[in-house]
């Protein structure tokens, strides 16, 4: 295993920490009723989004699930806009109307979190088809969980993407439990990459607790897609350390299993590797933590000072006005 470029290795570490610390603060804010509604955290899975999005260009598109805070942040959505959206204020990236599950930021190529399981798959196929028809050299990366594999949209999207040779990268974040059902209890074939390969597209599994492994796999896949190689599929084998959502009592998995997976925390693994290679010391790590903490504090302060949408504009984007006036 060749040493990482020191600067790039530290960059990957900081990106994962930005996601982790932002989400940890979100959990605290949720318990204080500052953030309301549903909240699904990405803690433990940071290497998946970090490794893939690191290989995308600014103009590329990302479609994600309701566990999408990290994806938006890594794609370029300011943390201030994400936290403001969590607070439901007008300065949020979705104007405060979407909340945790519906981050949207077209300026940075974030085409939404989606509360519907598998709902982002046909959206990604549509974006890729539009790019193909318009001759745009863009890649659409579609993130979804293994629970989406049981949905009809998964199979329809795989089929159409392969049939039409679309520039889309499917990224299945396989955390083994979907909402609360073990993969082996819902799927007769648990090799999800094999399912995708059945649609005649290149597909392979990746150890998604290792951000370097993810980045290398994503580099290969994104390059192929961008150069006309058609759809590709990565099965990102990962694990969420926290419950499915803040409402989840988490009675479906053994605590010893969670502890075992925590020993492969992607942030800890990369930190140890960088220290072993002489690319990171205590002072360097402290500097990263300080920068991230400052960013999180500033984002929370921005959200706290946000503006509730005026009551008189709440009907905007909800109702339509037909020709001739009137509201329906």
Instruction: Please state which of the ranges 3-12, 71-80, 174-183 shows the lowest mean pLDDT.
Output: 174-183
Q: In the chain, pLDDT over 70 holds for what percent of residues?
A: 97
Rounded to an integer, what distance in angstroms lies between the CA atom of residue 275 and that of residue 235? 29
Residue 318 pLDDT class (50, 70, 90 cuts):
confident
Residue 320: per-residue pLDDT:
62
CA angle 184/186/188 to nearest 5° reads: 65
- Is there a contact between 240 and 41 (Cβ–Cβ < 8 Å)? yes
Residue 118 has pLDDT above 70, yes or no: yes
Dihedrals phi, psi of 102, to nearest 5 degrees: -135, 50
Please provide the average confidence, as pLDDT, over all residues in the chain: 95
Residue 111 has pLDDT above 80, yes or no: yes
Residue predicted with more confidence, 323 or 262: 262
Residue 107 pLDDT class (50, 70, 90 cuts):
very high
Bridge partners (DSSP) of residue 232 are: 169
- Is there a contact between 266 and 44 (Cβ–Cβ < 8 Å)? yes
Q: What is the pLDDT of residues 119-139, one digit of tens each?
A: 999 999 999 999 999 999 999
Torsion over CA of 166, 208, 43 and 14, rounded to 10 degrees? -90
**Fold for domain 6-313?**
Rossmann fold (3.40.50)
Residue 57 has pLDDT above 60, yes or no: yes
Question: 92: which 2 tokens?
Answer: 């949020």
Residue 328 pLDDT class (50, 70, 90 cuts):
very low
Q: What is the pLDDT of residues 245-283, one digit of tens each?
A: 988 888 899 999 999 999 999 999 999 999 999 999 999
Residue 313: per-residue pLDDT:
85
Q: Is 254 helix (H, G, I), strand (E, B) or coil?
A: coil
């Amino acid at each position: 295993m060749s040493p990482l470029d020191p600067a790039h290795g530290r960059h990957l570490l900081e990106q994962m920490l930005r996601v982790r610390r932002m989400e940890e603060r979100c959990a605290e804010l949720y318990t204080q009723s500052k953030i309301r509604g549903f909240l699904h955290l990405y803690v433990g899975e940071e290497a998946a989004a970090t490794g893939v999005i690191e290989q995308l260009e600014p103009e590329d598109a990302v479609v994600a699930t309701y566990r999408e805070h990290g994806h938006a942040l890594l794609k370029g959505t300011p943390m201030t806009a994400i936290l403001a959206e969590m607070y439901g204020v007008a300065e949020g990236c979705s104007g405060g109307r979407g909340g945790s599950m519906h981050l949207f930021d077209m300026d940075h190529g974030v085409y939404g979190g989606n509360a519907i399981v598998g709902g982002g798959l046909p959206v990604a196929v549509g974006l890729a088809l539009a790019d193909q028809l318009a001759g745009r050299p863009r890649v659409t990366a579609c993130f979804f969980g293994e629970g989406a594999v049981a949905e009809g949209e998964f199979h329809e999207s795989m089929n159409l993407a392969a049939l039409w040779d679309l520039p889309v990268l499917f990224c299945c974040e396989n955390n083994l439990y979907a909402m609360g059902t073990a993969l082996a209890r819902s799927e007769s074939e648990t090799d999800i990459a094999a399912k995708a390969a059945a649609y005649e597209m290149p597909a392979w599994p990746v150890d998604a607790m290792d951000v370097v492994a993810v980045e290398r796999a994503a580099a290969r896949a994104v390059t192929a897609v961008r150069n006309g190689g058609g759809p590709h599929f990565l099965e990102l084998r990962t694990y969420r350390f926290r419950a499915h959502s803040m409402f989840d009592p988490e009675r479906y998995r053994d605590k010893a299993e969670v502890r075992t997976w925590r020993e492969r925390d992607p942030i800890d693994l990369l930190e140890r590797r960088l220290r072993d290679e002489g690319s990171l010391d205590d002072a360097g790590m402290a500097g990263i933590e300080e920068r991230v903490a400052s960013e999180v504090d500033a984002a929370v302060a921005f959200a706290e000072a946000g503006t509730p949408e005026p009551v008189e504009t709440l009907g905007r984007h909800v109702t339509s006005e037909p020709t001739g006036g009137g509201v329906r």
